Amino acid sequence: MTGIVCNLVGNVVTAAAAVRTAKTVTAVGNAQVDTAQSKFGGAAALFDGTGDRLTVTSDADFAFSGDFTIEFFIRWNARTHGTNYILFDGRLSTDGSVVKPTIYHVDSSLRYFVNGADRITSATLTINNGVWYHYALSRSGSSTRLFVDGTQVGSTYTDNNTYVQSALSIGDYAGTGYGLNGWIDEVRISNTARYTANFTAPSAAFTNDSNTLMLLHCDGTDASTTFTDDTGSRVPKTITAIGNAQISTAQSKFGGSSMLNDGTGDALRIESNADFGYGTGDFCIEFWIRPTTNLSGTYNVWDQRADGAGVEVKPSIYISGNTLYYYTNNDNRISYGIQLQSGTWYHIAVSRSGSSTKMWLDGTQVGSTYTDNNNYVTSQVIISNYSAGGGNYYYATPAYFDEIRISKGTARYTANFTAPTTAFTNDANTVLLIHADGTNGSTTFTDDNA
């Protein structure tokens, strides 16, 4: 799966590749996203028991030659005594003797079927409607075990099978109608044995790691039939170059190029996104700037307000006279007297930890610490300018910008530090990362989402 960004004239380019290739998931029947129930994340996959299922296209990742784990959460809505319920199936309707995994219920007995026979059969389980349960099948070496809520059920199966590549069916058997009436959430397939003994059932949504082969959070808009395999990459932000903002190879801090703003209406604009609503949590805004003139006038360096509206609880960094300011909620909150000089690279950062927001210049705190109990709301981002509405941009900063990063949920800096010596890399807290690399004169800027 690749990210898509658009430049000023609407050209489309691809961003950094995802951690792995996303699996193709198709909703069949009435299978859909339902916000009425979820284990985590606010939604789950709903199945009405009459031909509903999610199908996943056949993939070589599902040919298990070594350790593996298949797991998911399930909440039953209704069950009929004596009926079979297929929860997870790697078979086609005619290949029951092929080495592909199937997890199913016969009434209240959970079973694992592979290579033509039931290999694990649990005793009668207490399975209640309206309760979430965690199911897991895990093979370690030649030992395959089945777990419900972290407790092994049934015997350990001596499993020397080489599993063949297959498509998958979740919530029903492929084409025969032994469907689940209920919800499934957090479906994860791994090429490692996650569980080899009794364990505490997971208490948070799964996250990707190097062993994750597929991860379905089953989140989205109510009644949607779109189910996305979370590959470990966030969705890249769309970046628009305004005016003459462009990539320049004349200067860079890292990577061989940077964003050049000539100071007359230029900017980078990133549309409003929930990632830029920092709430009451920690965050960090940082970038490198190299002025093309000594900055002693009025320049908006960074602005997340809508059309420059002053009363909004959104961050703004600007220069007026010979002073650098951090502005939010209708007032200057941090200030520091300095004239940024032409031809010098500076690292600027604003970081909140708890209720303390600080501003940094080249790793040294400047100005006072702002006691910051604000709830920062969803916003756009404008780099090197601000918008006065109607497409008008004023107080542009004549400078080069490089390595622009927003982090959410973490304060990168809480005390004086050594300014970064290499380009930034993504982690779980990165919500925007612009390296400003590319061809000289290009107006295409990419959010590195890998």
Round to the nearest angstrom and report the end-to-end CA distance of the chain. 11
Task: Measure the CA–CA gap between 388 and 60, rounded to whole angstroms.
Answer: 53
Q: CATH number for the domain including 346?
A: 2.60.120.200
The answer to the question of residue 19 being in a domain is: no
> Is residue 231 in a domain?
no
Is residue 92 helix, strand or coil?
coil
Query: Is residue 282 domain-shared with residue 138, that is, in the same domain?
Result: no
Per the listing, tokens 């089953």 go with: 218
Is 221 a domain residue?
no
Q: Give every CB contact of residue 382 below 8 A, 6+ residues apart in sequence.
A: 267, 268, 269, 270, 300, 302, 303, 304, 393
Which helix (H) or strand (E) is 248 found in, with range? strand 246-248
What string of DSSP letters covers 132-182?
EEEEEEEEETTEEEEEETTEEEEEEEE----PPPEEEEESS-TTT----EE
Residues 282 and 179 in one domain: no
DSSP-derived pairing of the beta strands 109-114 and 166-170? unpaired
In a domain, 375, yes or no: yes
What is the C-alpha separation between 228 and 357, in angstroms, rounded?
A: 36
Indicate the residue among 201, 216, 231 that finishes a domain. Answer: 216
| Same domain assignment for residues 42 and 118 | yes
- Asked if 182 and 43 sit in the same domain, the reply is yes
Domain region containing 133: 25-216
Q: Does one domain contain both 164 and 275?
A: no
Do 166 and 55 lie in one domain? The reply is yes
pLDDT at 274: 87
pLDDT score at 82: 66
The per-residue pLDDT string of the chain (450 residues; one tens digit each, 9 = 90 and over) reads 223 223 322 222 223 334 588 999 999 999 999 999 999 989 999 999 888 999 999 999 999 999 999 999 999 999 877 678 999 999 876 677 789 999 999 989 999 999 999 999 999 999 999 999 999 999 999 999 999 999 999 999 999 999 999 999 999 986 566 889 999 999 999 999 999 999 999 999 998 888 999 999 999 889 999 999 998 788 889 999 999 999 999 999 999 999 999 999 999 999 999 899 999 999 999 999 999 999 989 999 999 998 767 788 999 999 999 999 999 999 999 999 999 999 999 999 999 999 999 999 999 999 999 999 999 999 999 999 988 776 778 899 999 999 999 999 999 999 999 999 999 998 889 999 999 999 999 999 999 987
Is there a single domain that holds both residue 316 and residue 199?
Answer: no
According to the model, what pLDDT value does residue 412 have?
A: 97
Distance CA 87, CA 401 (A): 52
Residue 14 lies in a domain: no
Considering the domain architecture, whether residues 296 and 208 belong to the same structural domain is answered as no
Our count of domains for the chain comes to 2
Q: Does residue 404 lie within any of the structural domains?
A: yes
Query: Is residue 164 one of the residues assigned to a domain?
Result: yes
Give how far Cα 133 sits from Cα of 40, 148, 202, 219, 237, Å.
Answer: 13, 7, 10, 18, 36
pLDDT for the residue 282: 96
**Whether residues 373 and 271 fall in one domain:** yes
Shared domain for 278 and 379, answered yes or no, is yes
Provide the whole-model pTM: 0.62
Alpha-helical regions (H) of 291-364: none
- Report which of 228, 227, 170, 184 is spatially closest to residue 52, judged by C-alpha positions: 170
Which pLDDT value is given to residue 4? 26
Residues 167 and 33 in one domain: yes
pLDDT score, position 175: 59
Residue 129 lies in a domain: yes
Same domain for 298 and 207: no
